[in-house]
Amino acid sequence: MTLEAWLTLGVAVVIFGALARNLASPDLLFLGATAFLALCGIITPAEAFSGFANPGVLTVAVLFVVVAGLRTTGVLDHVTHYVLGPARTEKSVLRRLAALVLPFSAFLNNTPIVAMLVPVVIDWCRRHRVSPSKLLIPLSYLAILGGTCTLIGTSTNLVVNGLMLQAHSKPNSADPQKFVEGLRGLGFFEIALVGVPYALVGMAYLYLLGQRLLPKRKELLEQLGESRREYLLEMLVRPDCRLIGQTVEAAGLRRLPGLFLIEIDRGGAVLGPAHPDEVIQVNDRLVFTGIVSSIVELKNIAGLVPITDPAYEIAPAKQRHRELCEAVISASSPLIGKTVRDADFRALYGAAVVAVHRNGTRVTNKVGDIELRSGDTLLLQTEPHFLRAHRNDPDFCLITGVQEWRPLRRDRAWIAVALFVVLIVLMTTGLVQTVVAATLIAVLMVLCGCVSQGDARRSVEWQVLITIASAFGLGAALQSSGAATAIATKLVGATEAWGPIAALACIYLLASLLTELITNNAAAVVLFPFCVETARICGASPRPFLIALVLAASASFVTPIGYQTNMLVYGPGGYRFTDFVRVGLPLNLLLWTIAIVLIPIFWPF
């Protein structure tokens, strides 16, 4: 190998060593490595930063905005309720995720599927006190497995298919017809002959063994909970509330961490403490004590409104401009001695009292009847200018915003769903390029009011994008320096004397390795000519080797940077680099065995 090849391999080893020991963030490491390789002249600046203009990376970026539109309109809330709502255990969630993700990712880009379900899974984990690290790696792996079932399941399948069509159109005159025929394009469901067994075995592995290997991050459980102020609040069940007809248990009101349903006031009759089997009815007044994050969840349930001032819950189109704030009553405040109902917050401050906290004492009255005291903390729903207008108001000692709350734009939910359906149609039919379709839908999400411009910008996970885009530079260096070619040539040559099955096994392992080091598409492009050449030397059809390449390059489980969906769950799951190695390596070896057994059966040499 040349000096450039050795230098590139050295940089790759340093990068993965640093990732394994958590010495720095992935985006910083890959960006620094790419800049260093460009400085050494191994790749040009255009090659180093080409990933930032890559359609795949841009598609990931705009899909964050699409998912934000689904989240802020409450669509994901319904997904949570109907898909994972009845689940009580980790294995139950895993079964439900498999039933949803495997078929969806076979026909759709798996990146938006994972991006959409990550917050849903985290929400379920928070409710049930389960660490997200037990479920997010399986979510990514299920999406990858589903992508091996059809031609459009992953971009890698399409890349290899395009290379096959190109080679088939320009055959070597010396090649026999059997060889040329092996280069014809892939059928839509052709790889499903191995892809479906892949998915079934992978699901069984995650269900039976993967759960034992997955980490349980206790620090994440602590982040999901809170030990902050406990408020008293009272909520009214309006006729349009989805909780009507459900029991307290089925409605999930007993599973929100840090929240307790004290009583139900039904037409003056008080049912307390509320029994889990009690059915929620229209106009019920639900009295809770709980922490802020659980109160936020209650306010995000359509048709469930604060009882102190129901008139303040105005038209949905204006509701999106409301904010939540916490305010502490000062010793000189004119509010002292007045009840919440008599204080007339709406007229004085343009705000409504949602809940009350009294330090060291559990308030037992209904919110409207609480007599305010100095030092009481009020949770207020306010106009956008409230913080600025009253920050120095002597009526309050301290005013802070509640950062975790964003009002849902439920009046735009049908628009968000319609736009998402259009996106699915455009992606599956191929009427326009994926990046164009995703960008168009993301822009329409903003223009149609499904998500604000600020929330759209904040929804983009820049660390994920920088890591993915920078990895393209390292992949380009491995290719242009000749490092990848040299390694592939030596490994393929070493198995030549053992027959085509040994060469097939070697190519699969090499593709798996390169997929973890560089992007899956780059690995497929690098190894394609070696698959063809190996088949020519062995006097065999190139098809089984190319099928192995498709499956191996698409199945990336051992590192977080090997595939985009792994990167999407890396941070939210609180994972370490070694977590993917521990869970993914046995799965990779298991699928490798299945591929070596089944490929020669369905695609003879």
DSSP string, 136-150: HHHHHHHHHHHTTSS
Residue 196 within a domain: no
Listed in sequence order, the residues at least 6 apart from 501 whose beta carbon sits closer than 8 Å to its beta carbon are: 596, 600, 605
Give exposure, 264-298, as e/b (b: 16+ Cβ within 10 Å): bbbeeeeeeebeeebebeeebbbbbbbbbbbbbbb
Residue 320 within a domain: yes
Select the more confidently predicted residue: 256 or 237. Answer: 237
Burial (CB < 10 A; 0-12, 13-18, 19+), residue 138, is: buried
The conformation of residue 269, written as its DSSP 8-state character, comes to E
Q: Which amino acid is at 596?
A: I
Q: Kindly tell me if the per-residue pLDDT of 427 is higher than 80.
A: no
Token reading at 142: 């299920």
Mean pLDDT of the chain: 77
Residue 17 within a domain: no
CA separation, residue 423 to residues 46, 143, 310, 327, 591 (Å): 31, 18, 38, 43, 32
Residue 33 within a domain: no
Residue 107 within a domain: no
What span, in angstroms and rounded, lies between the C-alpha atoms of 396 and 391? 8
Res 320: pLDDT:
54
- Dihedral (C-alpha) 455, 456, 462, 465: value to the nearest 10 degrees? 160
Residue 264 within a domain: yes
Listed in sequence order, the residues at least 6 apart from 329 whose beta carbon sits closer than 8 Å to its beta carbon are: 335, 336, 372, 373, 374, 375, 376, 377, 378, 395, 396, 397
The conformation of residue 267, written as its DSSP 8-state character, comes to T
What span, in angstroms and rounded, lies between the C-alpha atoms of 79 and 70? 10
pTM for the whole structure: 0.60
Select the more confidently predicted residue: 365 or 548. Answer: 548
What span, in angstroms and rounded, lies between the C-alpha atoms of 254 and 537? 66
Residues, the chain: 605
Are the C-beta atoms of residues 264 and 258 closer than 8 Å to each other? no
Q: How confident is the model at residue 317 (pLDDT cuts 50, 70, 90)?
A: very low
pLDDT-wise least confident of 298-302, 308-312, 532-536: 308-312
pLDDT-wise least confident of 194-198, 208-212, 408-412: 408-412
Res 334: pLDDT:
85
Q: Give per-residue pLDDT as tens, 23-47.
A: 777 778 888 888 888 888 888 888 8
Residue 72 within a domain: no
Residue 236 within a domain: yes
CATH number at residue 335: 3.30.70.1450
27 backbone φψ class: left, alpha, beta (φ>0; ψ -120 to 50)? alpha
Q: Give per-residue pLDDT as tens, 112-153.
A: 678 767 777 877 777 777 888 888 899 999 999 988 888 767
Highest mean pLDDT among 89-103, 301-315, 321-335, 371-385: 89-103
Q: Give per-residue pLDDT as tens, 514-547.
A: 777 666 766 777 677 778 777 777 777 888 999 9
Question: Crossing angle, helix 500-517 and helix 520-538, to 10 degrees?
Answer: 160
Are the C-beta atoms of residues 73 and 410 closer than 8 Å to each other? yes
Domain interval for residue 371:
231-401
Q: Quote the number of domains for the chain.
A: 1
Q: Kindly tell me if the per-residue pLDDT of 314 is higher than 50.
A: no
